[in-house]
Amino acid sequence: MSRDLLPFAAFRSIGAYAPEKILTNFDLEKMIDTSDEWIVKRTGIKERRIAADDEFTSDMGAKAAEIAIERANISRKDIDLVLCATVTPDYFNMPSTACIVSHKLGIRDVQALDISAACSGFVYLLTIAKAFIESGMKKNVLVVGAEKFSSIVDWTDRITCILFGDGAGAAIISATQNKEESFIDVHASADGSYADFLMTPAPGSVNPMSQKTLDEGLNFVQMKGSETFKLAVKTLTRDVKEILAKNNIKPEDIPHFIPHQANYRIIKAVGDALRMRDEQVVLTVHKYGNTSAASIPMAINDLYESGNLKYGELMLLDTFGGGLTWASALLPYVGNKYTHD
Ligand code: COA
């Protein structure tokens, strides 16, 4: 097929799901040696959502996906690829959460796969969706970022347990012949030499599940906090400067900067380095904490449901996570205007 006939990838819709249960900093004060004041000052987080015991990553992903599909005005039968980004899958390591999400949505006989890129997962999926669509292989890709991070958090470790939350976000990426609607650029990268900055050491081939791994808490997320913080600011800033320069776009011309929601201080440092005005930067970290692969789509959804995301407006996505992974994207939102569903 000549390139002239091949379609472009377009961001058609967004949906999200946040579990009902809210865990506030004041609740955490009763569980560990911490304070609302410390958490707000160091992270900007006030509360996070926690999934119910019988609510799993695939349930949250499927709920977000249902909304995204409806808002894209397509039928489930139109979806020809299901991608899920998560580091808290329903099962380690099979079946994939994407298979279970597909099943819960009644999507059959369609390729479904998971990727593991931690907090960069959703933007990583955009690169994959774009490649499938622009090669002509698929037409409507469902991308889901979903996490039950509470399932891998040690609730006695005050350094990590204050940071994370549960939730899901989903989008429909569709083929278009209209170049104006297409992604402008997506970029993703990785550096495994920082693998131990953020990791769950077990279960896996290095540390198969055993009484010893459980006793040592190796199934919980472990993090080098201040090293991760510094690397996050440096990497996010560099990455976003590069994608803007490459596409000849100035930071002040971006209406919606949607960074990974890990820590308000990281977001502020990156925003300041780019001289972004407050109203350009989308913030949800105060109410959801860090929801890893769900963080960016949940933030896009918040912007959408505020009524401030209109057809054709440019979004700049910028993310960073365990691996080390990082990714950025420049793309217009080309879906419907929000009306109360
Ligand atoms: N409540 C109260 N005190 C706490 C605490 C908590 N929840 N967690 C740590 N502390 C204490 C530490 O024990 C330390 O005490 P000490 O000085 O007596 O030893 C002090 O606070 C400072 O700890 P430090 O780790 O240096 O704090 P920090 O300013 O680096 O903030 C993080 C800690 C985790 C908030 C910060 O490093 C961070 O956000 N890192 C990036 C994490 C991240 O975004 N990860 C995901 C990337 S996708």
pLDDT digits (tens, 9 = 90+) for 223-272: 999 999 999 999 999 999 999 999 999 999 999 999 999 999 999 999 99
Q: What is the model's pTM?
A: 0.96
Judge contact between 167 and 209, C-beta under 8 A: no
Q: Which of 219, 263, 290, 301 is catalytic?
A: 290
φ, ψ of residue 292 to 5 degrees: the values are 55, -125
* Geometric angle at alpha carbon 220, from 218 and 225, rounded to 5°: 105
Between the CA of 225 and the centroid of ligand 1 the distance, in Å, is: 6
Counting as low any pLDDT under 50, the low residues of the chain are: none
225 Cβ inside 6 Å of ligand 1: yes
Smallest CA-to-CA distance from 214 within 128, 154, 263 is with 154
User: Is 290 among the residues known to form the active site?
Assistant: yes
The answer for residues whose C-beta is within 8 angstroms of residue 320's C-beta and 6 or more apart is 119, 120, 231, 232, 235, 236, 239, 260, 262, 326
Find the DSSP H helices in the chain: 25-29, 36-43, 57-71, 97-105, 121-134, 211-215, 225-246, 264-273, 285-288, 295-305
Q: Omega of the bond prior to 95 within 30 degrees of 0, cis?
A: yes
Distance 218 CA to ligand 1 centre (A): 20
**Is 331 a pocket residue for ligand 1 (Cβ < 6 Å)?**
no
Q: Which atom of ligand 1 is nearest to the CA of 159?
A: 8
β partners of residue 187: 328
Asked if 146 contacts 61 with a C-beta cutoff of 8 angstroms, the reply is yes
320 ligand 1 Cβ < 6 A: yes
Does 103 qualify as catalytic in the annotation?
Answer: no
Determine the distance separating the centroid of ligand 1 and the alpha carbon of 270, expressed in angstroms. 19
What the block records as the tokens of 220 is 């919980």
Nearest CA to ligand 1 atom 2: 34
Q: Does ligand 1 lie within 6 Å of residue 157's CB atom? A: no
| Residue nearest ligand 1's atom 9 by CA | 159
Residue with tokens 């769900």: 294
Q: Using DSSP bridges, classify how beta strands 81-85 and 140-148 pair: parallel, antiparallel or unpaired.
A: parallel
Question: How much is the pLDDT for 3?
Answer: 63
Contact 134/8 with Cβ under 8 angstroms? yes
Number of H helices and number of E strands within the chain?
A: 10, 13
Q: Where are the domains of the chain?
A: 1-341
Distance 188 CA to ligand 1 centre (A): 28
CB of 232 closer than 6 angstroms to any ligand 1 atom: yes
Contact 119, 319 (CB under 8 A): yes
Give the count of alpha carbons within 13 A of 216, CB side only. Answer: 13
pLDDT at position 2 is: 60
Alpha-carbon span 167 to 147, nearest angstrom:
6
Q: 140-148 and 47-50 as β-strands: parallel, antiparallel, unpaired?
A: unpaired
Pocket lining: 119 vs ligand 1, CB cutoff 6 Å: yes
What is the pLDDT, as a whole number, of residue 128? 98
Q: Is the CB of 228 under 6 A from ligand 1?
A: yes
Q: How far is the CA of 173 from the centre of ligand 1 (A)?
A: 37
Q: Is the Cβ–Cβ distance between 6 and 171 less than 8 Å?
A: no
Tokens of 23: 């865990």
Whether cis (ω within 30° of 0) applies to the bond prior to 203 is: yes
Within 10 Å of residue 75's Cβ, how many Cβ atoms?
10
Q: What pLDDT shows up at residue 5?
A: 82
| pLDDT score, position 93 | 80
Which of 36, 45, 226, 320 for a ligand 1 pocket mutation test, highest count of atoms within 8 Å of Cβ?
A: 226
**Atom in ligand 1 nearest the alpha carbon of residue 161:** 7
- Which pLDDT belongs to residue 110? 98
> Would you state the CATH architecture of domain 1-341?
3-Layer(aba) Sandwich (3.40)
Return the ∠ at Cα 264 (arms to 294 and 262), rounded to 5°: 30
The whole-number pLDDT of residue 259 equals 97
Q: Which of 119, 140, 256, 301 is catalytic?
A: 119
